[in-house]
Amino acid sequence: MQLLNDFKQHLIASGKSEHTASLYTQRVAGFVKYVAEQRIGKITEELGRYGDRVSVCPQDETGLLDLGSVLDDLPEGTLVYCCGPGPLLDAVEERCPAERLRVERFSPKAQEDGENSEFEVELAQSGRTVTVAPDVSVLDAVRAAGVEVLFSCTEGTCGTCETDVLDGTPDHRDSVLSAEEQQSGETMMICVSRCRGKKLVLDL
């Protein structure tokens, strides 16, 4: 999850994530809120050094997080980061404007069943055109053609394989891009997303 420096402050809400707590609190100078499902010994102690910049709200002690108290009336210029279980992310997405929110999912969102058909992908930088079969991802087709791209989860949750779309309409099936970002069609996660037509042109 990339921290964007254009925002003055960052609020981090996390459900039982040691990695998030230890990493992100070291990288932001603004307000931080860390939400855990339970106390995590060493990590909880580490967070204590941030004083009132961090609030630990174990679910087994305080119940479900009061999102209104966390998200309502945020200072102007605050970007919200959230990672953790799906229900927490879904609830945050309902309350927080997409332009002020970044989420990191550990499992993909449920997707509507879509038809997988064959299409072509033109790789603008390498000058190659590959055929993507119905049972093959764009990522796998591109790599099979000898073009190396960064990737990690292969589930559409991490954002590592995000690729610029130069032409064509993506069939978005990721859990990273907001509805507005998907609507723009400017980028796609090539590990899971496909094409709504017969051809895509990607900046690869």
Domain boundaries, the chain: 9-105, 119-202
Do the domains 9-105 and 119-202 sit in the same CATH topology, yes or no?
A: no
Q: What is the pLDDT of residue 39?
A: 60
Tokens 């927490």, located at residue: 88
47 contacts 68 by C-beta, under 8 angstroms: no
SS3 160: coil
Q: What is the pLDDT of residue 2?
A: 47
Superfamily grouping for domain 119-202: Beta-grasp domain (3.10.20.30)
Enter the pTM of the model.
0.68
Concatenated DSSP letters for 39-80? --HHHHHHHHTTGGG-----HHHH-S--HHHHHTTPPTTEEE
Name the class of domain 9-105. alpha beta
Low-confidence ranges of the chain (pLDDT < 70): 1-44, 46-47, 53
